[in-house]
Structure 1
Amino acid sequence: MVSDEELKQKKKSKKKEKKMKKKRKHEEITKIEKEKKNISTSTDKDDVSQVTPKSEKKRSKKDKKQKKDKSKKKDKKSKTSKQEKSPKKIEEENDANTTEELNEAKNVKAAPNDDDLKIVGGRIVSFSADVMEPEPASQEHSTTLLLFYQYIEPVLDEDGFQAILEHVQVAGEKHQVTGRMRTSYEGLNCTLTGSYDGVRGWCKDLRDYNNGAYFADTEFKLTDNLPSGQAFPTLHAFKVDELVNYGLSGIKAPSIHMSGEHLEPKDYDKKMKEKDTVIIDVRNHYEASIGRFQPPVNGAQYIDPMMRKSTEFPVWLDKPETKDMLRGKQVLMYCTGGVRCERASALLRTKMENEDDTKALGIKGVFQLQGGIDKYFRDFPEGGSWRGKNYTFDKRFSHAPPALEGMERVVKKKEKEGKEAPEKAGIEVMGKCEACHKPWDMFRGKRRCPTCGVPSLICKECYQLDKDKIKKLDRSVRCDLCVKEGIRSKHQVREKVGREMEAYETKLREIYGFQPTSKKSKPAQRMDAPRKKKSAPNPKKITKLFVKNLCAKEVDQLQLCELIPGITHIEWIMDRKTGNWYGSVFVEVATPEDASIAVGSLHKQKCHGRVLNVSYLEPDPKSIWPHPKLKI
């Protein structure tokens, strides 16, 4: 007998078999339908593939015929034109575009427009920087730069100074003007940026301040359409004792009414061509290193006072060798915007009236360039008697005569397009890289001369080598002025300046009764090894030393070699985060005896007020020491 459970299982198994059969039939049907569809689509594609190539071939043949016909027509036209025109005319037509672009670059507006006269009024010089960017975008080149200064005599009292300071700041916020304002009881010296209307509105408000009592005759110099990246981020007004720091504040300051005769750029350029004339560059030497006036051979004699700071000018003017150069001459002075010449020329004329040795020089006149180099470029867009670039203290960093900058851009554009560019178009490079001495005129980065602190003129390649740690820009890489004067440390500069200033102020006390303001510089500490040389045991004959706690402000390569005789290699240990050197070095000396003398004589000895730590250091066998790149 079959049980009920077995019957149930048989029924279930039969149902499963039926379901499986249905699924199989359904799958077979779907496969057949898919195959039919694939066959139909493939036939359609085959039909299309059989038709389209023929039509495409026909079309391509027609296109080729049309192209051939067009090329034949062009060849015929070119042949006929070449037969009709001479070779000179063909060359002229080929150069037409470049000459037009060069003429556009030379076309610079240096006179105030109607907006300037209506909005600002008074003395104003403006031009557009479109020549630097032939097709500027309105948003990308919408910055206006303003340069001006104004001395006020008699000087302001505290209330008058605070009132002007508040006015310029409130007006700056109103017109959204940014930049730097040097404010003093003796006036204003400003470099500002903003929009076209904003800067002009600010100038108008300043012109009208106190009914024009102070700024009615101020000359505003505007440059429009500069890149937006050259705008200052904020407005910073700060108080100073002098608009230009000559060290002549208060009672020492010569009256501005004693300043030299102001010559407009064209008259100044003519004066440079006269005999018995000298032209003094009142700027710092690092500024003059990339650009300066170059008078004609039979004209004025160019003089660079070789200054690091303006405070050195009064001392330089009082030197006997300077007076010999000025004897019986007309004296011309110039600077970037004119403000430095105001006090400089006034100082010379004051000395001519009050000091016997200067009276005896027989100086025939003192003149200064009205508006400075900046205004000269506007009247002489192709350069005139100028060579190189003009160093600036704004976001441009430097600039050249606008037509030359425009022509240089045209040349670069033609070179990129693979076309011939006109010769002798561009800016003459006057400076040299302080590291490799190749021609260079761009101040890049924040590096300064390690001995005197002026900006360093370093080329792009040398900066990259230093960044890649291939060739270090160490303390031996100094400005050309320090190299020329043999300055190798900061204390030498301080000692030299302090000595000269003390002698100058002694003379001021004798003639004018002024009290000294400068402090005597501290005597420089020499970096000499101790008198008694001692030797420390060196059984392993190690020649590598680790020197710690050196004075980072005073020690350079030369002094280190004087301290430790026999050095052949130096590795300056730089901080990983800041990249600065804080007084530790690895050195390799020539012999084990040199190493033992260095450890025995210098360890725990004072140098520049710091206790040195000198010890032997066994070279790591896994590393290369001494590395050839560290050789001095």
Structure 2
Amino acid sequence: MTTTKSDSRSTKNPQGGKDGAVVENAKATSHRELPPLPPDYSEEKDGVSVLLFYQYVEPLWTSSQHRRALRKLMELCQQNKITGRGRVAPEGMNCTLTGNSRGMRQVCQGLREFDKLFWETDFKITDRVPKSKQFKSLSVRKTEELVAYGLKGDAVAPSLTHFQGTHLEANEYHEALQDPDAVVVDVRNFYETALGAFNPPPGGAKLVDPKLRNSIEFSRWLVDPDTQKELNGKKVLMYCTGGIRCERATALLNQMVTASEDNNNEKNENENQKTDHAKNNDEPKSSEDADPSFACKPKGVYELRGGIERYVKTFPQGGFWRGKNYLFDRRMEQIPEGRSMEDVEREIDSVCCVCHRKWTVYRGQYSCASKLCGVPVIVCTHCTTHATENPQSLQCDLCRENYRPRAAQPDLAKIKRKAEEKVLAGSGGEKDTTNNMRPAKKGKHDSRERYSDRLFLSRLPLTATVTKIQQALIPVETETVISTKKQKQHNSIRVHWLRDQETHSFYGSCMVHMPSAALASDVIARASETGIRLAGHKKRVKVSYVWKRKEDDMKDDDPFASTTFQAREFPPIQ
């Protein structure tokens, strides 16, 4: 779309906000009273209200909780004559609803009474919308994922508790757009971006369009080397329509950064070891060795709370927004209240996919005919007959330029395991001033203590055994008989294998209870100085201390409790 470098829009505002901001509109409804009914409200005269909201849940709802939440939403909507669309998944709710203003607020309040979690929800209500924009029926689907990122389930979905980006209110985001050290990332699909996008001021942030056909491509875009160069060392500002896509997108980036920490420090050493080994043994590199590292460390990862929808309400003259906000309800689009449609359309350069005449409206169910695409395309009124009769001829801009994401799909389950290992081990739970990750809910490590005699081991091979771990942690000198003292120390090392939450299989990590704090300290020192390797395994094992949780959390689930600990020589592979 066309971007402009400057304009002469008025910045006057009766509420005195900077750059014409209506600051009150920037505030989320989370943990606040719902907005009151419009003045002199009349159900007959005031049209309908539109409600947009989403709420993620951690840990995931169980099957029964999932069904119960679905029933409650349906019950509240039916009682209040609400129509619209909704998705209810084990990870939460995502809804766009229409109905009378009073009933809409009763739905919000009903959800808060159903589960206190919904006090966290940012209910975005737009009143006095024409009745013609009301959904005709109610459709609530039971799904596995709220947004199709391909992240369903605990095995791959990044934890919002640990990795969610920092929320910025609309007026704060507006200020951040003026930072030359920032990069703005539009996490919507490219056909939405064609109608509108942020245009940071000269000397401000740089806008980056990932050119997504769908959200599943986002992780491939993140691991692209060119993307990493764009984001590295920058403040990353993400935005989407209403905020939901940014929740997972920011968490995914932060999780990748956490999973890759220390990789760059070891990269040269590991590459040299691999090269020497290959030269000496004439062995080809394994596919694991060929995996590219994630070499990106942003200065912070942020998201626009409430999305474009709230920004446009906060800045009636548009602020740094240009064009239309593509919507997924019967309104179809949103423009700044203080601007005319004619003025807005002059900023857009989207065209009809048939005749290439300027056109700024998606109408009808036309989509790209290219294999593995199928995204919506713009067809003007002059070309509807041709498009209907020749749907195979329709092609989106990305397919026309033969664009495909370059990077392969990353192993998201592996990335999540690595990141969570570091959180568990104590390297990812602190507030990170570089990545702006949220701390774990259990508190920062500076308010907790670590176990002096417990270690966390990761990067273990599937061939790991308790005996190999014991011998690696307390090495045996080249002597025929092991000393009685050393044999006792070996036998006193206890190992608790860690399992994947979903598959319940070993994923290369364990906790170790050492015989003494002194021996644990010695292992940490050797791991830092020379590295620790298991017999027959080339790669170093990563070693760190285990941090204590709150006492009441540890009473029933201490893996080394004398009444519950079970020694297992081999990890639970299956």
Correspondence for 2:96:
191
| Aligned counterpart in structure 2 of residue 351 of structure 1, from 247, 256, 269 | 256
Q: Which residue of 2 aligns with 1:294?
A: 199
Q: Which string of whole-angstrom CA distances, capped at 9 and with x for unpartnered residues, describes residues 50-84 of structure 1?
A: xxxxxxxxxxxxxxxxxxxxxxxxxxxxxxxxxxx
1:509 is displaced (CA, Å) by 9.8
Match of 1:249 in 2: 152
Change beyond 3 A, Cα 1:363–1:475: same
Q: Please say if 1:227 is aligned against 2:130.
A: yes
The number of residue pairs the alignment matches comes to: 372
Whole-angstrom distance in 1 between the partners of 2:220 and 2:501: 16
Question: What whole-Å deviation, never above 9, does each CA across 1:560-587 have from its counterpart, x for those lacking one?
Answer: xxxxxxxxxxxxxxxxxxxxxxxxxxxx
SS of the counterpart of 2:118? coil
Q: Please name the residue that 2:408 is paired with.
A: 500
Distance 1:430 1:171, change over 3 A: same
| Secondary structure of the corresponding residue to residue 225 of structure 1 | strand
Contact 1:291 1:430 survives alignment (8 Å): no
The unaligned stretches of length 5 or more in structure 2 are: 1-9, 265-292, 420-458, 460-499, 504-574
Q: Which residue of 2 is the match for residue 439 of structure 1?
A: 358
- 1:284 has 2:189 as partner: yes
Give matches, 1:298-337, under 5 Å: 298-337=203-242
8 Å CA contact 1:449, 1:478 repeated in 2: yes
The aligned amino acid for 1:228 is K
TM superposition shift of 1:183: 0.3
CA distance in 2, matches of 1:140, 1:428: 34
Counterpart-to-counterpart distance in 1, 2:52 and 2:95? 6
Q: Calculate the aligned-residue CA RMSD, in Å.
A: 3.6
> CA-to-partner distance for each residue in 1:233-287, whole Å, 9 max, x for gaps?
2211111111111111211111112111100011101101111211110000101
Paired with 2:68 and 2:344, the residues of 1 have a C-alpha distance of: 50
In structure 1, distance between residues paired with 2:256 and 2:21: 41
Q: 2: distance between equivalents of 1:425 and 1:340?
A: 25
Within-5 A mapping of 1:444-593: 444-451=363-370, 452-463=373-384, 473=390, 475-485=392-402, 500-501=408-409, 504=411, 508=415
Q: Between 282-291 and 503-512, report the one with greater CA deviation.
A: 503-512
Amino acid paired to 1:255: S
Is the contact made by 1:111 and 1:126 (CA closer than 8 Å) also made in structure 2?
A: no
How far has the Cα of 1:428 moved from its partner?
A: 2.6
Normalized against structure 1, the TM-score is what? 0.54
Alignment partners' CA distance in 2, 1:508 and 1:361? 14
Which amino acid in structure 2 is aligned with residue 475 of structure 1? Answer: Q
SS of structure 1 residue aligned to 2:303 = strand
Deviation of 1:459 after TM superposition, in Å, equals 1.3
CA contact (8 A) 2:37 2:101 kept: no
Higher relative contact order (CA 8 A, sep 6+): 2
**Cα deviation code 1:437-467 (max 9, x no counterpart):** 2222100111111112111111122225657
Q: What does residue range 66-105 of structure 1 map to in structure 2 within 5 Å? A: none
For residues 36-51 of structure 1, what are the structure 2 equivalents within 5 Å?
none
In 2, Cα distance between the equivalents of 1:108 and 1:295?
Answer: 16
> Do the aligned partners of 2:326 and 2:333 also contact (CA within 8 Å) in 1?
yes
Amino acid of the structure 1 residue aligned with 2:224: K
Q: Determine the C-alpha separation between the residues in 2 that align with 1:515 and 1:170.
A: 33
Give 1:237's aligned residue.
Answer: 140
SS of aligned partner of 1:145: strand
Instruction: Give the 3-state SS of the residue equivalent to 1:449 in structure 2.
Output: coil
Amino acid at match of 1:122: R
Structure 1 residue 481 displacement after superposition? 0.9
Q: Which has the larger radius of gyration?
A: 1
1: CA distance, partners of 2:37 / 2:294: 42
Q: CA deviation at 1:474?
A: 5.1
Secondary structure at the counterpart of residue 402 of structure 1:
coil
CA distance in 1 between partners of 2:213 and 2:203 (Å) = 29
State how far apart, in whole Å, the 1-side matches of 2:211 and 2:332 are: 21
SS at match of 2:60: coil
Q: Deviations over 1:106-148 (max 9, x none)?
A: 9998858xxx99xx972656897x9xxxxx9974751110000
Shift of 1:199: 0.6
Deviates more, 1:140-149 or 1:383-392: 140-149
Q: Deviations over 1:499-518 (max 9, x none)?
A: 933x656975996899999x
Give the structure 2 partner of residue 381 of structure 1: 316
- Partner residue of 1:170 out of 75, 79, 86: 75
Equivalence for 2:329: 394
Q: After TM superposition, give the deviation of residue 195 of structure 1 in Å.
A: 0.5
Correspondence 1:143-182 to 2 at 5 A: 143-182=48-87
Question: What is the alpha-carbon distance in structure 2 between the residues aligned to residue 382 and residue 142 of structure 1?
Answer: 24
Distance (Å, rounded) in 1 between the aligned partners of 2:37 and 2:317: 14
User: Is 1:369 matched up with 2:304?
Assistant: yes
Give the equivalent residue in structure 2 for 1:45. none
| Contact 2:165–2:302 (8 Å) recurs in 1 | yes
User: Does the Cα contact within 8 Å between 2:88 and 2:94 map onto a contact in 1?
Assistant: yes
Assess, with a 3 A threshold, how the Cα gap between structure 1 residues 139 and 482 changes in structure 2: closer, same or farther. Answer: farther
Matches of 2:246 and 2:140 in 1, distance apart?
23
State the distance in 2 between where 1:463 and 1:140 align: 36
Structure 1: stretches of 5+ with no match in the other structure = 1-98, 131-135, 412-423, 487-492, 518-632
1:217 maps to 2:127? no
Query: Which of 110, 123, 132 does residue 205 from structure 1 map onto?
Result: 110
Kindly tell me: are residues 283 and 378 of structure 1, through their superposed partners in 2, closer, same or farther at Cα, counting changes over 3 Å?
same
Residue 270 (structure 1) aligns with: 175
Amino acid aligned to 1:368: E
- Report how far residue 228 of structure 1 moved: 1.2
1:8-157 matches, cutoff 5 A: 111=24, 122=32, 124=34, 139=44, 142-157=47-62
CA-CA distance at 1:362 after TM superposition: 3.2
Shift of 1:430: 3.5
Per mean C-alpha deviation after superposition, the further-off stretch among 337-346 and 243-252 is: 243-252
Q: Distance in 2 between matches of 1:282 and 1:460?
A: 29
Normalising by structure 2, we get a TM-score of: 0.59
CA deviation map 1:465-516 (0-9, x unaligned): 657xxxx655333111111126xxxxxx8xx89x933x65697599689999
CA distance in 1, matches of 2:20, 2:235: 34
Deviates more, 1:427-436 or 1:324-333: 427-436
- Using the TM superposition, give the Cα deviation of residue 361 of structure 1 relative to its aligned residue in structure 2, in angstroms: 2.7
Structure 2 distance, partners of 1:436, 1:144, is 37
Q: CA deviation at 1:368?
A: 0.3
Measure the CA separation in 2 of the matches of 1:338 and 1:277. 19
2:245 corresponding residue in structure 1: 340
Could you tell me how far apart the structure 2 residues matched to 1:328 and 1:297 are? 20
